[in-house]
């Protein structure tokens, strides 16, 4: 994965973590898109898909706020 994609993936993860802390529920793809100035919701979904494949988040199908952070994030200290 190139550095730009890695940086954006990290920004998406940090935004999701922050949004959850501040609001008590996860952001939608549209909220992620708007906050990070991504060109479309599909870009937000793309990065969420990467995070899901890496085991960092879990997504509930067909649920706009169906994101859940995995308790232990691989590669991050507890």
Does the pLDDT value for residue 22 go beyond 60? yes
d(CA 55, CA 33): 21
Residues 12, 48 contacting (CB under 8 angstroms): yes
Does the pLDDT value for residue 62 go beyond 60? yes
Q: Per-residue pLDDT tens for 24-56? A: 999 999 999 999 999 999 999 999 999 999 999
User: For all residues of the chain together, what is the average pLDDT?
Assistant: 88
Residue 25 DSSP code: S
Question: Stretch 3-7: mean pLDDT, rounded?
Answer: 79
Task: Return the domain boundaries, the chain.
Answer: 3-69
CATH class of domain segment(s) 3-69: mainly alpha
Q: State residue 78's pLDDT score.
A: 47
């Amino acid at each position: 994965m190139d550095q730009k994609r890695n940086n954006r993936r990290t920004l998406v993860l940090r935004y999701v973590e922050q949004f959850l802390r501040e609001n008590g529920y996860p952001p939608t793809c549209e909220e992620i898109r708007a906050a990070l100035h991504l060109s479309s919701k599909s870009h937000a979904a793309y990065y969420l898909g990467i995070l899901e494949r890496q085991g960092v988040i879990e997504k509930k199908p067909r649920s706009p706020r169906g994101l859940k952070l995995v308790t232990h994030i691989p590669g991050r200290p507890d």
